[in-house]
Amino acid sequence: MTARVENANPTYAWLMVAVVFTISALAFGALGSISVFMKPLAAEFGWGRGQTSLGYTTISFSSAIFGILWGYVADRYGTRWFGVIAAIVMSFSLFMLSKQSSILEFYAYHFLFGAFGTAMATTPLYANVGFWFRSNPGLALGIAAAGGAVGQALVPYLSGLGITTFGWRETYQYLAVTYLIIALPIGFLIRESPWRERARLETDMEVREFPLSEVEVIVWISLAVIFCCNCMAVPIVHLVPMLTDQGNTLEYGARVLMILMLAGTLGRILGGKLADTLGALPTYMLMSFGQTISVFWFPHVEGTTALYLLAVFFGFTYSGVMSSILICTRMMVSARFAGRAMSITSFFGWGGMGIGGFLGGYYFDLTGDYIWSFGFASAAGVVNLILLALFYLRIKSCEEPSPGASYA
């Protein structure tokens, strides 16, 4: 089934999908680029891998903390100006990174990018998009979330080419100008979903039938998300450095990451569509299983073809996880709580990403290779799967025995 648009302007609903796709591509693209900038910055300033990886952790935690604030603002006042603010701050942060001269500046500008860039450009806008579509929103959310994968494919790859050609400072400057040119004009196109607008103003307009309370839903999803994001963060941050350690060029490493993320584009879209058909939670479990079994093999695989195939499989499944988390939250909470709900689960997701990115570098600094880093990622994926299975059983135990739809 296709998504049914909420209002009489279906064209604008899909325009919103396109706008959020683009803005989230830029937000996630800069996040993924940390892996490309890591070794040039470490070489110039003498930073360790764990120390440099904390830039990723800084973005993740600032996105997590401020995401809750912006989720509250979105539920109360809407997301009308979120894209404009995010565009300006992301561009400013990238430009200031070109001027950095210390690790504290590196952390400060990444904190700013996360707090007023990524935190505003992703979760609150996903919540908005999800409620432009009254039923079967998985495909629309999957397409919007696919922007993150496209950004993580193209921006790091182009950044790698820029670093090789111009140097890391000039590359940050080119990114800053490009982000402003692309994001600022389309930021003015953001409008709030009519359904969300009514939900904010009419407290008795929505009947929620999910068998668990909204609080319990958010607790279960948040716990699982910590570990699934630990799992996915390690290759996102450390795949390129690992490949260059093996004697490959920076361009080669960036190309592998690009292939991984392009596969992720398809994974987010098809993951969204699968969630409409199979159910959001079963899709989340299936995709989590795929990323858990594949992430372990990155340090062990040999040969370009095998590496590409592994990158495609991991990219597809990890990105399907990203879509599934959004759709689980969208389908299990009310419209007037959606911004806060997605922000809370994203808080734990960003936290998991930050911890996973840092520990990947920390284990490398301890051992001198990435075997323990990727082993840790796979173990975190197993914990995520256990929590999801328990969540599924909890939902089943609370469902009425009537022939109604199965929420799980």
Q: What is the pLDDT of residues 352-367, one digit of tens each?
A: 988 998 899 899 999 9
What pLDDT does residue 45 have?
92
Q: Is 385 helix (H, G, I), strand (E, B) or coil?
A: helix
Higher pLDDT, 45 or 207: 45
Q: Quick check: 395 pLDDT over 70?
A: yes
Contact 332, 204 (CB under 8 A): no
Contact 282, 408 (CB under 8 A): yes
What pLDDT does residue 123 have?
85
What pLDDT does residue 346 have?
84
| Rounded average pLDDT over 368-394 | 96
Confidence of residue 300 (pLDDT cuts 50, 70, 90): very high
When the pLDDT of each residue in the chain is averaged and rounded to a whole number, the result is 88
Higher pLDDT, 51 or 205: 51
What pLDDT does residue 57 have?
83
What pLDDT does residue 203 have?
55
d(CA 79, CA 393): 35
From the list 309, 297, 304, 289, the residue with the least C-alpha distance to 385 is 289
Instruction: Kindly state the tokens that stand for 219.
Output: 């607790």
What pLDDT does residue 404 have?
40
- Using the structure block, give the residue that is written with the tokens 């952790």: 57
What pLDDT does residue 290 have?
96
Task: Domains for the chain: give ranges and CATH numbers.
Answer: 4-196+212-397 (1.20.1250.20)
| Rounded average pLDDT over 266-285 | 90
Contact 374, 298 (CB under 8 A): yes
Confidence of residue 206 (pLDDT cuts 50, 70, 90): low
Confidence of residue 347 (pLDDT cuts 50, 70, 90): confident
**For the segment 94-145, what is each residue's pLDDT rounded down to a tens digit?**
999 999 999 999 999 999 999 999 999 988 898 888 888 877 788 888 899 8
Looking at the chain, the whole-number percentage of residues with pLDDT higher than 90 is 52
Instruction: Kindly state the tokens that stand for 61.
Output: 């935690």
Give me the amino acid identity at 87: A
Higher pLDDT, 136 or 288: 288
What pLDDT does residue 208 have?
66
Q: List all residues 6 or more positions away from 319 whose beta carbon is below 8 Å from its beta carbon.
A: 145, 146, 148, 149, 261, 263, 264, 265, 266, 267, 268, 271
Measure the CA angle with vertex 154, ends 375 and 242; round to 5°.
Answer: 30
Confidence of residue 82 (pLDDT cuts 50, 70, 90): very high
**For the segment 86-105, what is each residue's pLDDT rounded down to a tens digit?**
999 999 999 999 999 999 99
Q: Is 133 helix (H, G, I), strand (E, B) or coil?
A: strand
What pLDDT does residue 200 have?
63
Contact 145, 272 (CB under 8 A): yes
From the list 142, 104, 350, 69, the residue with the least C-alpha distance to 236 is 350
**For the segment 17-75, what is each residue's pLDDT rounded down to a tens digit?**
999 999 999 999 998 888 889 889 988 999 887 888 888 889 888 988 898 899 889 88
What pLDDT does residue 307 have?
96
Confidence of residue 272 (pLDDT cuts 50, 70, 90): confident
| Rounded average pLDDT over 386-402 | 86
What pLDDT does residue 403 have?
41
Q: Is 135 helix (H, G, I), strand (E, B) or coil?
A: strand
Measure the CA angle with vertex 129, ends 127 and 135; round to 5°.
Answer: 95
**For the segment 159-199, what is each residue's pLDDT rounded down to a tens digit?**
999 999 999 999 999 999 999 999 999 999 999 888 777 76
Looking at the chain, the whole-number percentage of residues with pLDDT higher than 70 is 93
d(CA 94, CA 397): 49
- What b/e string do you get for 112-127 counting C-beta neighbours within 10 Å, with b at 16 or more? bbbbbbbbbbbbbbbb
d(CA 343, CA 356): 19
What pLDDT does residue 189 have?
96
What pLDDT does residue 71 have?
85
Q: Phi and psi (nearest 5°) for 364?
A: -65, -45
